[in-house]
Amino acid sequence: MATGDQLLERDLEQAAIADAQATAGGGHGQMLVVQGEAGIGKSRLLAQVRRPGHRLFTARGTEFEQNVPFGLVGQLFGHAVRDADESALSGPAAQAVRVFDPVAGEHSAANSELAVLHGLYWLTVNLCDGRTVIVIDDLQWADPPSLRYLTYLLPRLPALPLLVLAAARSGRDADRPEVLRLLADSGVRVIRPGRLSVKATTELLDSTFGEPCQPRFARDAYEATRGNPLLVRALAGALLDKNVAPVDQNSGLILAHGHSTVAHLVTARLAAAGPVATEIARCLAVLGQRAAVPLVLQLAAPDRPEAADGLAGLQAAGLVELDTDQVTFTHPLVGAAVEATIDPVELGRRHAAAANVLQASRAPAEHVGAHLVKAPRGLEPAAIDWLERAASSALARGSVEGAFVFLRRCLDESLPVDRRRELLVAASELALQVDLQTAADLTAEARGLTADPVQRARLGLQLGRARGYLLDPAEAFAALEKARDETPDSAEDLRRQIEATLLVGVFVVPGRLHLQDRVPSLADLPASDGIGAKLLAAAISAHEMAQCVPSGVERATAALADGELIRTSNGEGPLVCGWLTLLAADERLALTSLNEAVAQAHQNGSVRSLAAAYCFRAAAHLWTGQLSDAEQDAREALELARTGRVDMDPSFAAAYLAWSLAYRGDLPSAEAALRQVGVPYAGVPDRPVYYALTAWAELLLLNGRHNEALATARRAGHVWQSFGFANPALASWRSVAALAAHALGDRATASAVLTEELELAERWQGARALGRVRRNLGLVLDSGELLAASVAVLTDSPAKLELAASLLEYGAYLQRTGRRMEARDLLSRALDQAEVCGATQLAERARSELTAAGFRPRRNRLTGRAALTAGELRVAELAAAGATNREIAQDLFLTVKTIELHLSSTYRKLGIANRAALRDGLVSG
């Protein structure tokens, strides 16, 4: 692997690292992972990034510290945060302070992981001063919250002058799901150094022995180590310890060591170093392979003067390295070999002793708790107090997962009933975000120990939600109905929360339509300002909307207008019901509420709330024609569903993503988005996949597969109906089916289906649905009157994409009927509107129709304020008000590079040179 400072057979890997470092230094960040078996030389490759002019942040994962929340991040940035000025933790980066000072986190309004991740991202941005490199060794042992920091950072890396260079083991050592997901991400480049050849192995042996090795000795050494550089060195070291010369006649001694070379070497050198050194090594292994020297000595050899000599002996034996006041094993395999010399029962007792030493040294509570988690059962009450303290500290750092681990360990002990019930309630609430099956089990046990009827009802609601998230609908509804029936009259608002949750079940679980029978009586309940009343109103509004009852709009508006549900409901189903009602009615309050929900979720750190808000804001953008924004939000929602332990069905966001891509002309990517969530589904769907099936039917239609489109649309219709939806503002399957039938020459079927849809749309009176259905029926019947009515109802509505389509079809109709000048006006408007929306297929059709009518379409895009997308206008207005690019990015939760792209496009459309002209450009445009 190396002779002196020279690496052997690693030219390609070194070139890849140098190229990544140069690319990142140029402002296009990336993540590069060196993956391979233990001892292959990953750490030595990582050392290649230490170059003048580069700022390095380094960390190394250990098996023990997997239970320390944000332990790896603390290693990376702890010293930098302590030494930096206030600007490093300014703005959104302030949310990261709790990682380094959990006491500060206890006083924060938001203590969940999402807020911390967002803060850490901005801390990273603030620390990226010129060329910056994050170096992480043994990534496979990183604690889960730190891995999620890297996952959060990854899609934002291209906007930073930052290289993230990591090393990770391959095989079973790296089979943790969160590690595999990170390594499989398309934004991560993985290089895999191979084993050394016989020639390179011989060179390494020659260097280690200090003399040339004879051929058969070198060949047998290669066979024993398979060219693994660490094993080659360890083998040579073990043989040197025994004064074995590298000659052919000693080849037989090589085979005796085999693949246990490191263990042989460690065992032999520990024995030579003596009992005190051995005890120090074992204590270091217990403490996690890296620890402060005084702490190791206090645990291993308190008040023994020979302890310093023992530590020096370990260093001389090449087993540990000293760096200031820290001692570390020279390689994780060395630490593993030392730990393997400790009996498992004794190892547990040593962890308990380590916890005591750490307590006395005033170590962070999580470090104490991490040892108590590994200690045997039978903890003292004071130790359980420490575990609770560790859980509180983990929460203050934003790690729900870490807090849950500590509380779960408390429950392994025999506890008084009252204390066990308190811990069960606390642990079950955390488990909802970590382990749903455990959450359900803990909630059920807590409920069994609870006598208070109100608390039992709350736990019943929680149990029902947990069962629902586990896709166990029978148990979920049973728990919810039992909780509702047992709720005392004094807790009427809680009962309404439970009723609201039951009503949402109709839309997500097939076969629950009978619950709709309760809607009229629930709608007649006395007015109330409680949260439960607002949740119930939002849920009822969706049932009314689903059946095209316009009163649902007023009910949803009353429930959502003051924003209280956004602040309190954590993205639960009833809130989503309210959003859908407003979206179906084209109410601008929907987008306002969703924008507030995104900001609130970032502030309080609720991943569930953020996923729901992004998902349905994607629908809002889609239906108002902001296709680029719709794509971005849908991708954010899908990413959260993939990595954020969110129970949201991804088929909703996948459908919105597919539509946004298809309307922009990228049909293959739209198809891929749906296939990733299982479309087309086999059999009878048991999930709410109605949107995804409808989107799939429309893709088939756009691809000219009309028979399949018709069959799929009808199938989607059955699914919509089985979940209680008739409203064409959401359930647009009839339009797809009709257009497919029309393309197949079946005008009668197309007309009948659209006539039915028009009746529903007129009952609902939402402009978007009404305009779409009138346009499609006008196409089928070749009716200029219906096409004109479609344009009329859409002109002043937010549904700009539907308006573009209706302008196009009416213009085409006028051109066919000889009204060329009127046609030119409508087709030009259609082209302008389609380009603002980014609807490339519509724009191309508008150009074709203009050309067919004898007009020359303009080549340049629409300019001025009207040409700006909603996202561009939002950024431009903030910039015109004096906000910097970074301030805008922080306010809108975007990257600085995204803001730069928005402004560049805005300058071009407004015909200005820079931001100084923005204010006048927006007014005059």
pLDDT, tens only, 863-894: 788 788 778 888 888 888 888 888 888 888 78
What's the pLDDT at 256?
64
Residues 6 or more apart whose CB falls under 8 angstroms from that of 376 comprise: 345, 348, 349, 352
Residues 566-572 have a mean pLDDT of 86
Distance of alpha carbon 808 from alpha carbon 805, whole angstroms = 5
Compute the average pLDDT of residues 372-400.
94
Give residues with Cβ within 8 angstroms of 336, minimum separation 6. Answer: none
The residue behind tokens 């302890």 is: 307
Please list, in sequence order, all residues whose beta carbon lies within 8 angstroms of the beta carbon of residue 920, skipping any fewer than 6 positions away. none
pLDDT of res. 33:
97
Length of the chain: 925
Between strands 30-36 and 162-169, the pairing is parallel
Taking only the tens place, the pLDDT of each residue in 648-665 is 889 999 999 999 999 999
Please, are residues 905 and 872 in contact by the beta-carbon 8 Å criterion?
yes
Q: Report the distance separating Cα 901 and Cα 909, nearest Å.
A: 12
Which residues, 6 or more positions from 363, have their beta carbon under 8 angstroms from its beta carbon? none
Among residues 493, 485, 476, 418, the alpha carbon closest in space to that of 456 is found at 485
pLDDT of 1 higher than 50: no
Q: What is the 3-state secondary structure (H, E, C) of 218-263?
A: HHHHHHHHCCCHHHHHHHHHHHHHCCCCCCHHHHHHHHHHHHHHHH
CB 687 within 8 A of CB 476: no
Residues 6+ apart with CB under 8 A from 475: 467
Question: Do you find a cis peptide bond into 680, omega within 30 degrees of 0?
Answer: yes
With a cut of 70, say whether residue 264 has pLDDT above it: yes
**pLDDT band at residue 105, thresholds of 50, 70 and 90?**
low
| Three-class secondary structure of residue 188 per DSSP | strand
**CA atoms of 649 and 638, how far apart (whole Å):** 9
Please state at what angle helix 588-604 crosses helix 607-623, rounded to 10 degrees.
150
pLDDT at position 762 over 80: yes
Q: What angle do CA 454, 455, 458 make, to 5 degrees?
A: 90
Among 429-443, 536-550, 725-739, the least confident range: 429-443
Q: Is the Cα dihedral 327, 329, 332, 336 positive or negative?
A: negative
What is the average pLDDT across 255-261? 60
At how many degrees (to 10) do helices 885-892 and 896-910 cross? 110
The two structure tokens encoding residue 649? 């069905």
Bridge-based pairing state of the strands 6-7 and 2-3: antiparallel
Contact between 120 and 149 under an 8 Å Cβ cutoff? The reply is yes
For residue 910, how many other CB atoms are within 10 A of its CB? 22
Contact 6, 139 (CB under 8 A): no
* pLDDT, mean of residues 793-817: 96
Closest-CA residue to 27 (of 160, 187, 189, 164): 160
Alpha-carbon distance 387 to 397, whole Å?
15
CA separation for the pair 70, 54 (Å, rounded): 24
The rounded distance, in Å, linking the Cα atoms of 428 and 436 is 9
Does residue 303 register a pLDDT over 90? no
Q: How many whole angstroms separate alpha carbon 888 and alpha carbon 874?
A: 9
Supply the pLDDT for residue 109. 47
* Helices 627-643/651-663 angle, 10° precision: 150
According to the model, what pLDDT value does residue 325 have? 87
Distance between CA atoms of 517 and 519, rounded to whole angstroms? Answer: 6
CA of 713: how far to CAs of 667, 692, 761, in Å? 18, 11, 18
CA-to-CA distance for 466 and 675, rounded, in angstroms? Answer: 28
Looking at residue 479, its pLDDT comes to 95
311-347 per-residue burial string, b: 16 or more CB within 10 A, e: under 16: bebbbebbbbeeeeeebbbebbbbbbbbbeebeeeeb
Collapse the DSSP code of 165 into the 3-class scheme (helix H, G, I; strand E, B; otherwise coil) and give the result: strand
String of DSSP letters for 113-182: HHHHHHHHHHHHHHH--SSEEEEEE-GGG--HHHHHHHHHHGGGGGGSSEEEEEEEE-GGGG--HHHHHH
pLDDT value at residue 759: 98
Residue 286 has pLDDT above 80, yes or no: yes
Write out pLDDT tens, residues 187-246.
999 999 999 999 999 999 999 999 999 999 999 989 888 888 988 988 898 888 888 899
- CA–chain centroid gap for 377, Å, is 36
Q: Of the candidates 696, 697, 706, which has an alpha carbon nearest to the alpha carbon of residue 671?
A: 696
Tens of pLDDT, residue by residue over 723-747, are 999 999 999 999 999 999 999 999 9
Examine the pLDDT at 110 and tell me if it is beyond 60: no
Mean pLDDT for the stretch of residues 127-135: 88
pLDDT digits (tens, 9 = 90+) for 481-509: 999 999 999 999 999 999 999 999 999 98
**CB-based contact 195:226 (threshold 8 Å):** yes
> Residue 107 pLDDT > 70, yes or no?
no
Instruction: Write the CA distances from 276 to 22, 288, 314, 355, 743, integer angstroms.
Output: 48, 19, 10, 21, 87
Mean predicted confidence (pLDDT) in 617-630: 96
Tokens coding 46 = 């990582």
Mean pLDDT, residues 505-523: 93
Average pLDDT (806-825) is: 95
* Residue 617 CA: distances (Å) to CA of 545, 573, 595, 677: 18, 15, 8, 20
Provide the edge-to-edge strand list for the sheet that holds 188-191.
Answer: 55-60, 132-137, 162-169, 30-36, 188-191
Sorted by sequence, the CB contacts under 8 Å of residue 172 that are 6+ apart come out as none
Residues 6+ apart with CB under 8 A from 655: 674, 691, 692, 694, 695
pLDDT at 22 over 70: yes
Give the C-alpha separation, 599 to 223, whole Å.
Answer: 60
The DSSP 8-state label assigned to residue 897 in this structure reads: H
Q: What's the CA gap between 335 and 316, in Å, rounded?
A: 16
Residue 151 in contact with residue 121, Cβ under 8 Å? no
The DSSP-derived string for 419-460 is HHHHHHHHHHHHHTTT-HHHHHHHHHHHHHT---HHHHHHHH
**Phi and psi at residue 292, in whole multiples of 5°?**
-70, 140
CB atoms within 10 A of CB 48: 16
| 859 has a pLDDT exceeding 60 | no
For 557-614, give the secondary structure using H, E and C: HHHHCCCHHHHHCCCCHHHHHHHHHHHHCCCHHHHHHHHHHHHHHHHHCCHHHHHHHH
**End-to-end C-alpha distance for the chain, whole angstroms:** 65
Mean pLDDT over all residues of the chain? 91
Element (H, E) at 166: strand 162-169
